[in-house]
Chains A and B, each alone.
Chain A
Amino acid sequence: MPEARAEGEHPGRLPGAETPGYRPNVPLERSIFRFIMKYSKRQQLVVLGLTFVSWPIIYLTLELPKAIIDQAIGANGGWARDVLGAEMEQIAFLMALSFGFLFFVILSGGVKYVLNVYAGRLGEQMLRRLRYMLYSRILRFPLPHFKKVSQGEIIPMITAEVEPVGGYIGTATSTPLYFGGLLLVYLGFIFAQDVFLGLAATALYPLQIYVIPKLQKRVIALGKARVREVRGLAENIGESIAGIAEIHANDASVYERAGIARRLDRIYTIRYEIFRRKFAIKFLNSFMAQLTPFFFYAIGGYLVIAGDMTIGALTAVLAAYKDLSSPWKELLNYYQLQADIKVKYESVIEQFDPPGLFDEALQLTDDAGPESVGNTLDASGLAYSEDGQSKTVDGANFSIDLDRHTAIVGSGSSGRDDLALLLARLLKGTGGRIELGGQRLDDLPEPFTGRRMSFAGPTPHLFSTNLRDNLDYGLRHRPLRTAADPASDRTRLDRYIRDAHAAANIDADPAADWVDYEAAGVADRTALDRKCVDMLRLLDLGDDLYRFGLRGTIDPDERPDLAEAMLTARAALRSRLDESRQSALVEPFDRARYNTNATLAENLLFGTPAGGAFDIDRLAEHPFVRQVIHESDLADPLLEVGRQLTETMVEIFADLPPGHAFFDQFSFFGSEEMPEYQQLLARTAGQSPDEMREEDRFRLRSLPFKLIPARHRLGLLTEGIQAKALKAREIFAETLPDMLRGEVEFFDPNRYNRAATLQDNILFGKVSYGEANADGKLSTLIGEVLDSLSLRDAVMVAGLAHSVGVGGARLSAAQRQKVNMARGLIKRPELFIVNEGISNLDGAAQRRVLDAFLGEMKGRGVIWSLHRPGFARNFDHIVVLKGGRAVEQGSFAELDKEGSVLRELLESE
């Protein structure tokens, strides 16, 4: 399959999966220094160059103050100096030197700025490169490795643990050089003034250089232990989240808390130890640093008094020494950081080098392999063992025709699962070989196996997007068409590509259209959507999809046709209701009438909340709504309704024990609030609204917002109040401030409501509480209407936007399996390998789905590892597995005989 590059694609972007600077299968550098040298030699040289440039400038910023004091200020009389051939007065000379000083200070700051920015960017690039390399490693881990390492361990390694590595790399050469140089410059300056002073300033350095690393060693070891413990913490937390149901179901929350507490204690002790040692080192350092000035005052002072040194020189030396301590400190810090980073880097890297990594060249190649999977799959001497000892597959020999359907049957311990994974190349065999059309399966590129073959296991993963993205996941191999016009933002794209290449990241645009329609046998998105619907229907998911669609929303700007069709359906439903004299099932939204099946809140808003501002359950709290209530004279009536409602609730529910289920189901407030409301009633009895407390008024007025006349039948919302509510509805709509306009989609019989579901758009009203079985009748009627307008498929297409939740958690296990099978079918594989792919469906559904699936795959290869041997009847060919070997092969009729292993399996089912 050649990769078609879209027109208008940015010339800087590379076709396919190539990435400059990134070589497949490149080994990870074991030491951070080698990593730095390998990937940033040139940049480090630039850093060095900049650092060298900075030295003479810094020296001048030291030299000039001395000249200013000694020559310009300190000299007396006889002035006029020869500076660069021009005569200068004392003041002019002072000014010239002062401005010169200013200039070099700014220049030195500027150089430092450039250096810092350059080094910072270098660090980020290297961090990005490292993270990308580590992530790429994960994509190459052999599957069994994930049984040994948990998400909780791996994720913090790539996110948090390597973070400081980036910061370090940028300064790896510059810091020691810059501050080391600085130190030399300052020292040079001091020595130039007086050799004795120089010796005094550096007298204690050898001691520090000797002692500090000794102390540091233990801190490094502790740092290593800390990394390990924090990883363990991440793993503990991950385990708790994954096992949350088990924790509750076994009353193990205390046990888990204890486990975490012990872990936290270990981290605490280690950190405490680290701090103690770090601060001890710091103390030692600063003590030694303070010893030196002592020598200056003593020796320097003596020299000045003895007249061997000017006071200007001593002042400058003292200033230089003050500056000296800062680079020295930085150097020591750098040393500590360097040791820390070395530990971090190495402890991360060693986790990313398990044996048996997938060959990256086979993943990143654009070579799509042979033209087809060939006619047969041959396994010879195939063996697999996870730990190198007990073999689950043990010398299996068989040959499978790839235009027929083959079942693999065997008991749970026969090696069926591993065999299926071996055939799908998700596991690598430890012995023997699999050949596909005469080619070794191990040598085939992933663009071949991942496009011409499908695999469906028992516990599929769905990505946390919607159904559509999950279904076309098998079609997204390379970017095929650009997302938007790239010319519109050329510079940003240029930058993106440049920076991606600088860190050896892939430059492909994930927002581009990656979907290979051709592979699915369709022309475009619309046709693919229809195909997705067909496949889900085929796999018994059609009704669910239809329901997802009805309960979902669409963007009428994207699908004006569907929005328009929903309005037609709305009208059709209305006339169907009228014809069948069932119009009482729905109370339509009518701007001029109060809807007795809706809450007061819904009646006021008379629309669907479209943003976060108007939460229908808390509408009474909104300042604008409160204002509308007052303007429409509803304030006092609502207060009275609120009082009566509270009285009724107190009367009905006061006798119930606290926490009784009726409170949740029926009451307007919970049992714990009961005493508060009783007090509220007592407090406000006989009070006029003005006499009540502000919060009491607010509370009472809020309650009726949840009243539904047809449901609660309390007779509290009288016609008079309803009329006022209609007035409030008008005022709300007319005076709604512009900034709130997008927050509500008003009910309009002639417009599609973008915030409401498709079903609510068709109903355009509230389902009547009083009508028996209204929901069931309406769902039948809506189905009939949609069928008569040929809209059912369109609704199902809308259902493809249904969000599946984290890891598909919003779907049932059976639904996830069906979606996974559909995903495998949509890419039209030549060979579909299934391992218990529909085991979570109920018995009848399994049979239906199996039949439909095999019908769809007619003439193409299917290898299905069956959890129920009885289903083998539906297959052309059967391989019976026992103890990791193929013990029987043939058709069902041939094998189903007295004494055969298949018969034994069938009978034990």
Chain B
Amino acid sequence: MSLNEEVEILRNIPMFANIESSKLKLLAFTSERHTYGEGEFLFRQGDEGDSAYIIVDGEADVIIDTDEGPLTVAHFRRNALIGEIAILTDVPRTATVQATTRLDTMVVSKELFFRLVMEFPQIGVEIMRELAKRLEATNARIRELTAA
């Protein structure tokens, strides 16, 4: 897959949708491509977080360890961004991610991700927007649960 195709993938991710293509090229060019076999772990809950992942192809489960054993809480597909929380806040991985099919990813290292955010405020703004959205979704879920 060439750089231009990767740029297209990035453009489909809401966070990067409004960013000019030379910046996306830089992001694509400076990230690595990693392929995982079915059942392989991208990372485990509690690991040190050193990179974020963008799914180029394939699917993955997000699993949280609970007292009753592992619990799958989300399922990611193509164009999803995974693992950015740990690299943004320096906390250990909050969940385990496991490939459920053969999984093709772009790996953005923590260092690189931070540089991009510092360098290009648009990306920072988009991330804020995304995180706010997720927070709102979580709040909604909490309201749902407390109501139940």
Residues of A within 8 A of B (CB): 581, 584, 648, 651-653, 655-656, 661-662, 665-666, 710-715, 769-773
Contacts and interface: CB of A to CB of B under 8 A. Distances in A.
Nearest to B106: A713
B22 interface: yes
B32 A769 contact: yes
Contacts, number: 53
B29 interface: yes
**Can you list the 9 inter-chain pairs with the closest CB atoms, starting with the nearest?**
A715-B2, A772-B34, A652-B26, A770-B35, A770-B33, A772-B36, A652-B25, A666-B30, A651-B22
Contacts of B26: 652-653, 656, 662
20 contacts: A648-B25, A648-B29, A651-B25, A652-B25, A656-B26, A656-B119, A661-B115, A662-B26, A711-B32, A713-B2, A713-B3, A713-B6, A713-B28, A714-B2, A769-B32, A771-B34, A772-B34, A772-B42, A772-B105, A772-B107
A712 B105 CA distance: 15
B4 interface: yes
B35 A712 contact: no
Contact of B29 (A652, A769, A771, A772): A652
A197 B66 CA distance: 121
Contacts of B42: 772
Contacts of A713: 1-3, 6, 28-29, 33
A772 B1 contact: no
Given A714-B2, A715-B4, A666 B33 contact: no
A769 B30 contact: no
A714 B3 contact: yes
Contact of B35 (A652, A653, A772): A772
A222 B83 CA distance: 75
A773 B115 CA distance: 24
Contacts of A711: 32
Interface string B26-55: 101110111111001010000000000000
A655 B27 CA distance: 13
Contacts of A662: 26, 30, 115
Nearest to B99: A772
Contacts of A714: 2-3, 29
A770 B37 CA distance: 12
B3 A715 contact: yes
A652 B21 CA distance: 9
A568 to B, nearest CB: 27
Nearest to B33: A770
Nearest to A773: B34
Contact of B22 (A581, A652, A770): A652
Contacts of A651: 22, 25
A487 B145 CA distance: 95
A714 B36 CA distance: 22
Contacts of A655: 22
A104 B73 CA distance: 112
Interface string B98-130: 000000010100000001000100000000000
Contacts of B36: 772
Contacts of A661: 115
Contacts of B115: 661-662
Contacts of B3: 648, 713-715
B41 to A, nearest CB: 9
- Residue among A710, A711, A712, A713 facing the most chain B CB atoms (10 A cut-off): A713
- Residue among A584, A661, A712, A714 facing the most chain B CB atoms (10 A cut-off): A714
Nearest to B27: A652
A662 B119 CA distance: 12
Nearest to B104: A770
A668 B29 CA distance: 12
Given A648-B3, A770-B34, 14 more contacts: A651-B25, A652-B22, A652-B25, A656-B26, A656-B119, A662-B115, A713-B1, A715-B3, A715-B4, A769-B33, A770-B35, A772-B40, A772-B105, A773-B34
Interface in B65-95: none
Contacts of A648: 3, 25, 29
A661 B109 CA distance: 14
A22 to B, nearest CB: 64
Given A651-B22, A715-B3, A666 B35 contact: no
Nearest to A771: B35
A713 B25 CA distance: 11
Contacts of B28: 713
A710 B30 CA distance: 13
Given A584-B35, A772-B35, A772-B36, A666 B29 contact: yes
A181 B3 CA distance: 91
A714 B32 CA distance: 13
B22 A712 contact: no
A656 B25 CA distance: 13
A584 B33 CA distance: 14
Nearest to B21: A651
Contacts of A770: 33-35
A668 to B, nearest CB: 11
A656 B23 CA distance: 10
Contacts of A773: 34
Nearest to B22: A651
Contacts of B32: 711, 769
A648 B25 CA distance: 9
Contacts of B37: 581
A356 to B, nearest CB: 56
A656 B30 CA distance: 13
Nearest to B109: A665
Contacts of B34: 770-773
Nearest to A709: B2
Contacts of B22: 651-652, 655
A652 B26 CA distance: 5
A30 B81 CA distance: 83
B47 to A, nearest CB: 12
B92 to A, nearest CB: 18
Nearest to A716: B2
Nearest to B42: A772
Contacts of A665: 30
A581 to B, nearest CB: 8
B9 to A, nearest CB: 12
A713 B4 CA distance: 9
Interface string B1-27: 111101000000000000000100110
B25 to A, nearest CB: 5
Nearest to B34: A772
A662 B3 CA distance: 17
Nearest to B2: A715
Contact of A712 (B29, B40, B107, B119): B29
Nearest to A715: B2
A456 B115 CA distance: 48
B83 to A, nearest CB: 13
A773 B103 CA distance: 14
A721 to B, nearest CB: 14
Nearest to B35: A770
Contacts of A715: 2-4
